[in-house]
Structure 1
Amino acid sequence: MHIIAVFIHFVLLLLNTEESRLSYNQPKLSSCAQWNIDATTFANKSYAGTTPHGIFVDADDTFYCAKVSAKSITIRYKNSSSFISRSLYETLFLYTQLFVTTFGDIYYGSNETGCIYRLSYNGAANKSFVTQFEDMCHGLFIDLNNTLYCSLKSKHKVVSLSLNTNTSVVTTVAGNGTAGSTSVQLRHPYGIFVTSNFDLYIADSQNNRIQLFRQNQLNASTVAKNGFPNNLTLTNPTDVIVDGSGCLFIADNMNHRIVRVVATYFYCVAGCSGVSGATPDLLYKPYSIRLDSTANMYVADEFNHQVSSIEPAITSVIMSNTSVRSEQDRTTAQTISVSTSRPIFTPLTCSDGALTGSDCNISNLPCDTIQPCQNNGTCMNNNTSFLGYFCSCLPYINGTHCQFDHRLCKPDTCLNNGICSEVSNNTFICRCVGGWEGGHCETRVDYCANIKCFNRGVCLSLYGNYTCECLGISYSGVHCEITADRIQLYRNISKSFAYIVIIIMSSVVMFIVLLDILKFRFGIDPARPELNWKCRQKQIKKSKQQIAIRFIYVN
């Protein structure tokens, strides 16, 4: 019996160890869980930056946020009211996501194309290069096998790289590299999430859907899209996470809300009016979502310039947090009892099949629900059509759903908010915004190209400007041209000693040259009398007889 008990204890220990490898939170929530209507500002512009995108909440409920403008990561620990900042001394990618491991290592993307770095902290910050992908990563994730995932938005695919080996073999795990809406294609993927079963969820933004790729499968299944489930409408989803019950949370970016998909239906949990705004009940282009261990929701509220926190508000929501740290098993089960008057979603059946909604006042026709026409095509409901609708396309666009775009100026022709203008039938020009250049506005302007930083200063190119990083506190100024008084004093003293040494050495040389001139040019040798005298003294000493002196001792 003792052996069996030890064996069971060993198995449980292994299970707890496996579970403890999660560094993020997956609270198990009931299917009717809801959150407060009003959000609170958790991190304002001073701590989150102008347009926050990358956030993370680890298993200890420590909050992380990429503050791009300050080239730093903002951190706030659980039960703390203050933020701390870790400087990176380099420009972050504007849309970088963050991922924090159980060891506290922070992974992030820099402004260099596809470069991923790791920031470790063992008493002192230690930054190290991880890898470089072929394009910028709009989504980052590390699964239980220590595999790094990166969503390459412009390449329309998701790739992975094992961090357990020193090899740099990059594997495509989703998407075939061409934009499209088939089961093997993606169109501008953003946020990604990998479960403990290695199921990969992707926010396929421009296809307005959430794709699920099973392990080692390149064919995806669609788990959320326009019209499914329950007449869901998505517009440019930018993030997706999965809770402990397997339910999805989606950042419906252009609809300014957060929705939760539970099995075959969905409901809104934040920003449910669908309009943008800065009041507590509204969101303005929510970009990413994270949960803490007690189901508090953190939203990167992009154009409200803040990170919002939304507390759960529903009676008797049973939760168990499956995301724990390696120090100890802290799996918790708790009941939150908060009274609320907010109704729970209940599906209704309308007498008119063309209507839906709680008041049967929302159109259920194909054009209004699934919005099938792409590239700004106009959808027209038509009962005589096989599909029940047809799409009227803009010039140079065709296809059943206006999916074939033959325009020179497409939405992604000019990058980084550049404006595309057609010059002729086969040429175009991109007018780039400040800080970008190139045929497609793909290259950041190097403002350090013609700049010289004095006193060994280093020029750093910024967005629309540059700065000279001076060495220590000895130099200052825009171009490090101002020297501290202390350094100037040291320089003056050094110069004075140098001048004295030069004068002494010059005098010695001139004296030797003068002696040579007197001796060889004028026959004057100042040292000759002295030499003659010494010679005579030697001769006198040699001429003198040696006298022997003998002492006789008498008794």
Structure 2
Amino acid sequence: STITTSSTTSSSTSSSTTSSTSSSSTTSSTTSSSSTSSSTTSSTTTSTTSSTTTTSSTTTSSTSSSTTSFLDPCMSNGSRWNTTGITILSSPTVERFTGMFFDSQDTLYIADQTNNVVWKLLKNTATPNVVVGTLGSSGASATTLYYPQSVYVDSNKTLYVSDNYNHRIQKYINESTNGITMAGITNSSGATLNQLKLPRCLTFDSTDTYMYVADSGNHRIMCYPSNSTSGDNGTIVAGGKGSGIANTQLYTPWGIFYDETISEYMYITNSGAHTVMKWLPGASNGTVIAGVPGLNGSNATLLNSPRDIKLDAYLNIYVADYGNNRTQLFCRNNSNGITIAGYGAPGNASTTLGGPRGIAFDSSMNMYVSEFDAYRVQKFLTL
């Protein structure tokens, strides 16, 4: 397969330099389905363009924090995104990109389900590199993955991957390519507290102390200490009462966002029920905040198999609405969605989405969407 990448590097100078904190940028956390893996050889084609805008003599540079002021997009003067995307990773037939994650240096990590690897794309570069997994080869060893879904990098640069078909979570320390199973039992699916079944998205709390996993096949959210190892028991913190649409149940949970510094709730895409729920960790029931349980559709109040989910510092919610080929914004305490990327019809044009699976934001709040059915990752610039 061939991965074609392009990036647009933009530097700007302004009369004053501002640095945002968590109050003005989204917090990161970061999905997918199965397809047949095959052995492939990958080559990379790259192109880079850069532009510079000068407004005065004081230079603003971007590091791990945002250098632009992100205004609440749900306010009349708020920030929004260009609806025309820029393709930064693409392949015509093979790569099925799923979950994504930005670290504090704006390095982008992308799970590639079909090639059974995780790609790493440094800031202001156009060529990705494989960091874990064996390209084009599935397996259950320490160096292989089988349908990776989600990726997370903690403050110590330890990388975590939800290894879907191996029913485990892999941890990679000090840039090692040998994974350590920290949750689940390799190649053993089940519903006991020390097992996982088809895990999808994962995230951590703000201190990287506890990991939260969408245990999709068991219709529950599991929590593990960060020092857990294979076979250790996890704790059910949501669901676990079979699949269903009652407020005590989850139905194929997929995406999960949790950052207790901005909200005490976990936010979960309940893919099989076509809803988004918020849930206090350990509570017996949650609350539907978007979508209608058991009903899929394409109007502003409905979702169709939602996948990834993110929140910004204003508690606005962003959902990869997979079945509707769009990204939806739900303003705080509002169940009417606003389409901010795609428009329902699938496609590979720059204004369409093809099966969006993952959502991520860089430090400038540019939005990135991985498209499972269009074999690409698109970037939507903030306006």
TM range (shorter): 0.5 to 0.7
| Counterpart Cα distance in 1 of 2:178 and 2:163 | 16
| Counterpart Cα distance in 2 of 1:145 and 1:88 | 28
| Counterpart Cα distance in 2 of 1:154 and 1:239 | 17
Q: 1:141 to 1:116 in 2, by over 3 A?
A: same
Cα-Cα RMSD: 3.5
| Counterpart Cα distance in 2 of 1:16 and 1:250 | 23
- Per the alignment, in what secondary structure is the counterpart of residue 154 of structure 1? helix
| Counterpart Cα distance in 2 of 1:72 and 1:224 | 32
| Counterpart Cα distance in 2 of 1:107 and 1:206 | 25
Higher mean C-alpha deviation, range 93-102 or range 23-32: 23-32
1:139 pairs with one of 251, 255, 260: 255
- Per the alignment, in what secondary structure is the counterpart of residue 206 of structure 1? helix
Residue pair 2:320, 2:328 contacting (<8 A) in 1 also: yes
**Pairwise CA distance, 1:84:** 2.1
Q: Which residue is 2:317 aligned to?
A: 200
In the alignment, structure 2 segments of 5+ residues that lack a partner are 1-19, 31-63, 69-81, 87-122, 190-195, 240-248
Q: Which residue is 1:168 aligned to?
A: 284
**Pairwise CA distance, 1:167:** 3.7
**Pairwise CA distance, 1:122:** 5.3
Residue pair 1:23, 1:58 contacting (<8 A) in 2 also: no
Q: Which residue is 1:35 aligned to?
A: 125
Q: Which residue is 2:4 aligned to?
A: none
Residue pair 1:23, 1:100 contacting (<8 A) in 2 also: no
Q: Which residue is 2:268 aligned to?
A: 150
In the alignment, structure 1 segments of 5+ residues that lack a partner are 1-14, 265-555
How many residues end up aligned between the 2 structures? 248
1:245 pairs with one of 360, 364, 383: 364
Residue pair 2:147, 2:165 contacting (<8 A) in 1 also: no
Q: 1:21 to 1:37 in 2, by over 3 A?
A: closer
**Pairwise CA distance, 1:250:** 0.3
| Counterpart Cα distance in 2 of 1:22 and 1:126 | 28
Q: Which residue is 2:168 aligned to?
A: 72
Q: 1:257 to 1:75 in 2, by over 3 A?
A: same
Residue pair 2:341, 2:352 contacting (<8 A) in 1 also: no
Amino acid in structure 2 at the alignment position of 1:96:
R
Matches for 1:85-484 after TM superposition, within 5 Å: 85-89=181-185, 91=189, 92-94=196-198, 96-101=200-205, 102-110=207-215, 113-121=218-226, 127-132=234-239, 133-143=249-259, 144-163=262-281, 167-177=283-293, 178-226=295-343, 231-263=350-382
Amino acid in structure 1 at the alignment position of 2:148:
P
Output one character per residue of 1:210-230: Cα deviation in whole Å (capped at 9) or x when no partner: 0001111111111101499x9
| Counterpart Cα distance in 2 of 1:40 and 1:259 | 19
Residue pair 2:168, 2:199 contacting (<8 A) in 1 also: no
Q: Which residue is 2:145 aligned to?
A: 49
| Counterpart Cα distance in 1 of 2:333 and 2:379 | 27
- Per the alignment, in what secondary structure is the counterpart of residue 85 of structure 1? strand
Q: Which residue is 1:547 aligned to?
A: none
Amino acid in structure 1 at the alignment position of 2:235:
S
Q: Percent same amino acid at aligned positions? A: 22
**Pairwise CA distance, 1:116:** 1.4
Give the TM-score, by structure 1 length: 0.40
Q: 1:174 to 1:116 in 2, by over 3 A?
A: same
- Per the alignment, in what secondary structure is the counterpart of residue 234 of structure 2? strand
Amino acid in structure 2 at the alignment position of 1:116:
I
| Counterpart Cα distance in 2 of 1:79 and 1:111 | 28
| Counterpart Cα distance in 2 of 1:78 and 1:139 | 27
Amino acid in structure 2 at the alignment position of 1:176:
V
Q: Which residue is 2:155 aligned to?
A: 59
Amino acid in structure 2 at the alignment position of 1:135:
Y
Residue pair 1:249, 1:259 contacting (<8 A) in 2 also: yes
| Counterpart Cα distance in 1 of 2:161 and 2:307 | 17
Structure 1 residue ranges (4+ consecutive) displaced by more than 6 angstroms after TM superposition:
15-21, 29-33
Output one character per residue of 1:9-44: Cα deviation in whole Å (capped at 9) or x when no partner: xxxxxx989899957597648999753245335333
| Counterpart Cα distance in 1 of 2:296 and 2:256 | 20
Output one character per residue of 1:162-206: Cα deviation in whole Å (capped at 9) or x when no partner: 23xx64231112112321111111111111111222111000111
**Pairwise CA distance, 1:261:** 0.3
Residue pair 1:93, 1:109 contacting (<8 A) in 2 also: no
| Counterpart Cα distance in 2 of 1:20 and 1:127 | 31
Q: Which has the larger radius of gyration?
A: 1
**Pairwise CA distance, 1:107:** 1.1
Residue pair 2:216, 2:254 contacting (<8 A) in 1 also: no
Higher mean C-alpha deviation, range 105-114 or range 152-161: 105-114
- Per the alignment, in what secondary structure is the counterpart of residue 323 of structure 2? helix
Q: Which residue is 2:17 aligned to?
A: none
The structure where strand makes up a greater share of residues is 2
Q: Which residue is 2:5 aligned to?
A: none
Output one character per residue of 1:278-333: Cα deviation in whole Å (capped at 9) or x when no partner: xxxxxxxxxxxxxxxxxxxxxxxxxxxxxxxxxxxxxxxxxxxxxxxxxxxxxxxx
The structure where helix makes up a greater share of residues is 1
